[in-house]
Amino acid sequence: MFGYHLSTQSHRLFVLVPLFTAFIWFATLLAMFLTWLISGRPKYVSQQGKVAYISDVGASFLKPLFAVGCCITGVGFFLSLVLERLLRHRGRLVPSMRRRERVLEVLAIIGAFIGMWGLILLSGFDTKHHTTLHRLFLLMFATGVILSVIFTVLEYYWLAQDYTDIYRLRRAYLAKAIIGGILIVLAIAFGITLYYASNVGGVIEWIIGFGYTFYLLTFAYDLRMTKFTLRKEGGDMTERSQILQETQNNQNSTPSGEEKVVGHTQV
C-alpha cells in the first residue's frame, strides 16, 4: 500500500519535506540573529568574543525556539534522504544502476542519521550549562552531515554517469558538489578559528548555518524530478534500469578471447 502511494502521489508532497525543513531552519536562525542584533548585540554568559555564536544565542531565553528548530531540521534532513531512497526503489526517481550507488545511498542516510541526533542533542545540551557535551554533539552533527554530503555527492556523480541524457540529474550533482564543498571547507575553517580567532569563527558559523539552508533546498530539486520522471518515463524507470543492468552483466560475463556485441538500448 505504501509503495503504491509513492508510485501515484503528486511530486508536491515529496518536495514539501525539504522545503519545510529549509524554511524552519532559515526562520529559526534569522529570528535568533535578528534578536541578537535588535537587543544591541549583548554578550552572553557563554560568549567569548564580540560575535555571538549560534549556540550562545541558542542557550539564552531563545533555547525553546532553537531546540524545536533543530529537532525539525534534523528529522527533516534525515527524512529527505530516506524519501529519496524509497522513491528510487519505486522508480519515481532514476534507479541505482550498481551496488556501488546503493551502498553510497545507505551510507549517506547513516551519515544523516548521525547528524540528526547530533543536532538534536546539541540543542538540548546547550553551551551555557554543558559546554563539553555541546561541543561533542556539535562535532557529531558536523561529522554526520559531512559524511552524508560526501556520500551523496559520490552517489549523484555515478548516477549522472549512468544517465547522461538526464540533464537535471547532472544539475543536481553539480549543485550538491558546489554547495557541499563550500560548507565542508567552511566547517574546517570554523574548527580552526573556534580556538584561535573567536570573532572570525562566529562569523563563519553564521555563514555555515544559513548556507546549510541551500543544501537542504537541493533535495527539493531532487524530489521535484519525480514530476518529470512520471511524465516522461511513464511513471516507472525500473524497466530501463533492468535493461541497462542486463546489458552490463552480459558485457562482464563475456568469456576471455571471445567477442560479443551488445546492442545499445535507447530509452
Cβ–Cβ < 8 Å for 67, 137? no
User: Can you give the pLDDT at residue 99?
Assistant: 83
Per-residue pLDDT band at 228 (split at 50, 70, 90): low
Cα(93)–Cα(85) distance, rounded to whole angstroms? Answer: 9
- Note the pLDDT of residue 10: 55
Q: What range does the domain containing 167 cover? A: 13-229
Round the average pLDDT of the chain to a whole number and report it. 81
pLDDT confidence of residue 233: 46
Sequence-distant (≥ 6) Cβ neighbours of residue 134 within 8 angstroms = 55, 122, 125, 126, 127
176-204 pLDDT tens trace: 999 999 999 999 999 999 888 889 999 99
Place 229 in a pLDDT band, splitting at 50, 70 and 90.
low
Residue (of 213, 106, 225, 221) closest to 155 by Cα position = 106
The total of structural domains in the chain comes to 1
Inside any domain, residue 248: no
234 inside domain:
no
Q: How confident is the model at residue 236 (pLDDT cuts 50, 70, 90)?
A: very low
Domain assignment present for 245: no
> Model confidence over 83-137: pLDDT tens digits?
988 888 777 777 777 788 889 999 999 999 999 999 999 999 988 889 899 999 9
Residues comprising the chain, all counted: 267
* Cα–Cα nearest to 111, from 77, 84, 71, 135: 77
